[in-house]
Amino acid sequence: MSTVMVDDHHHEEHPRGITRWLFTTNHKDIGTLYLWFALLMFFIGGLMALVIRSELFQPGLQVVEPQFFNSMTTMHALIMIFGGVMPAFTGLANWLVPMMIGAPDMALPRMNNWSFWILPFAFTMLLATLFMPGGGPASGWTMYPPLMLQTGDALPFVIFSIHLMGISSIMGSINIIATILNMRAPGMTLMKMPLFVWTWLITAYLLIATMPVLAGAVTMLLTDKYFGTSFFNAAGGGDPVMFQHIFWFFGHPEVYILILPAFGIISQIIPTFARKPLFGYSSMVYATASIAFLSFIVWAHHMFTVGMPLAGELFFMFSTMLIAVPTGVKVFNWVATMWKGAMTFETPMLFAIGFVVMFTIGGFSGLMLAIAPADFQYHDSYFVVAHFHYVLVPGAVFAIMAAVYYWLPKWTGHMYNEKLGKWHFWLSTLFVNLTFFPMHFLGLAGMPRRIPDYATQFAGFNEIASIGAFGFGLSQLLFLYLVVQCVRGGAKASAQVWEGARGLEWTLPSPPPYHSFTTPPVVR
């Protein structure tokens, strides 16, 4: 009798097929689920971007109705941010954090399962709003009243889906913090953790601090529409600008949530392919913490044009410029790590270098936007669109792709196709710049954001941007092919993936173990 029970129990321990994925508490399985989900959302959000760009290919209204166009800009942002970038980073954290700190799994494995499975339901509901009477939300991802309050029956569903995404993020963050603070291997002090672990520890605190703020803001919208409150209704004594303050108090730390894990990834990859330890490890940790702290006191730089007092404009201008300092420290350290290194240019390194160059372009345009009097001209123009896409596409998205190429051989035991990987990088880099660089010129010439039609003088640059967008979108099919091909088989992962040249491992801890450079180079 007891043997049968033990046997039954044994079978329960190792479910197969769909139950393995539904009920898994294994951090690697959950990381994989997050990554596939993020990839699906990237393609859905990308198709929405292509709807936007096809409408803007020429002046005039030709492809979609203006209302649907506005729904596309809103949904594209919500899906790319909450469905693409954030779950991809969370998937990487699930896979890598326990392994990097020497933990057997995440601290709260069952909650880990739940925090993932909330997401498919949240995004199914969000996408379903497009088919409801009145169409989906058409207010931009910022959901400003009074525009958001004109959303039809979809409004409560949009807000509920945002609540679910927030719950998922908060649970994932609690799990990551609990894991890092309680489950490090003996001897793994905080200042010996790989930088990817550090950036996620800090990001997790940002998420826990800000997601409830967003939840509060959207709940106030809900009560304004259905329960007779007047938080943002001027006729009832409310203030629509208050919504902007609450939203951006969440929204500004959020943009650092979207980039800090990318900094961690790049800080793992560059030392490996430069065959040198990361330059300035502790300054990188302090820079990350400084960025996180400053992110809470700069929110109103999104609001220079609302009529705030001059003292407010000056405070937000200078505090925003201050963020350029720790960010500059990071860029300097990455370049210093590459300086005089024995560099090779495999696909992960190409994406990492592309990240450093193009993220810096986005950083400089951000510095321009921080200058309050200049921002009066740039505000709500395509210049802003160019700025944040430079930090989010060749920034966050390139870092995610770099991470996938970098760790995929370790996850699957197979090598990806290096030649195709390089093709993917060069095509993506060409088209991402073709798409977003002309937007700087459009914005400086006065083209506003979030419009389905525009004056004829903007036609040329819009045409180039649209061609770039379709090129970039099609290039990502190559990425999908490469990942699927690598997961299904291919060449066995070489010893180099595990050792690296001169004994430098691909998951190099930063700082590296003592004496890791004293071994003579391996002659192959």
As annotated, the active-site residues are 76, 105, 141, 168-169, 252, 254, 256, 267, 301-302, 327, 330, 449
Tell me whether residue 201 is exposed, middle or buried, using C-beta atoms within 10 angstroms of its C-beta: 0 to 12, 13 to 18, 19 or more: buried
Quote the CA–CA distance of 95 and 32 in Å, as a whole number. 8
Alpha-carbon distance 250 to 246, whole Å? 7
Residue type at 26 in one-letter notation: N
Tokens of 129: 């709003």
Nearest to 504 by CA among 187, 270, 193: 270
Contact 250, 166 (CB under 8 A): no
Contact 402, 351 (CB under 8 A): yes
8 Å CB contact between 195 and 278? yes
Q: Where are the beta strands (DSSP E) in 372-427?
A: none
Q: Where are the beta strands (DSSP E) in 304-455?
A: none
- Whole-angstrom distance, CA of residue 167 vs CA of residue 115: 8
Neighbours of 461 (CB within 10 A): 19
Taking the alpha carbons of 508, 510, 515, 520 in that order, is the dihedral positive or negative? positive
Please give the Cα distance from 29 to 383 (Å, whole number). 41
DSSP bridge pairs for 492: 414
Report the C-alpha gap between 367 and 250 in whole angstroms.
Answer: 20
Write the single-letter amino acid at 243. Answer: F
Q: How many residues does the chain have?
A: 524
Q: Hey, how many other C-beta atoms are within 10 angstroms of the C-beta on 325? A: 12
DSSP string, 163-200: HHHHHHHHHHHHHHHHHHHH-PPTT--GGGS-HHHHHH
Other CB atoms within 10 A of residue 465 CB:
24
Bridge partner list, 414: 492
Nearest to residue 47, comparing CAs of 518, 509, 478, 472? 472
What is the spatial distance between Cα 283 and Cα 4, in angstroms, rounded to a whole number?
A: 58
What are the Cα distances from residue 278, in Å, to 198, 264, 466? Answer: 14, 11, 39
Measured CA to CA, the distance from residue 456 to residue 309 in angstroms comes to: 37
Q: Judging by beta carbons within 10 Å of its beta carbon (0-12, 13-18, 19+), is residue 10 exposed, middle or buried?
A: exposed
Q: How far, in Å, CA of 152 to CA of 136, rounded?
A: 8
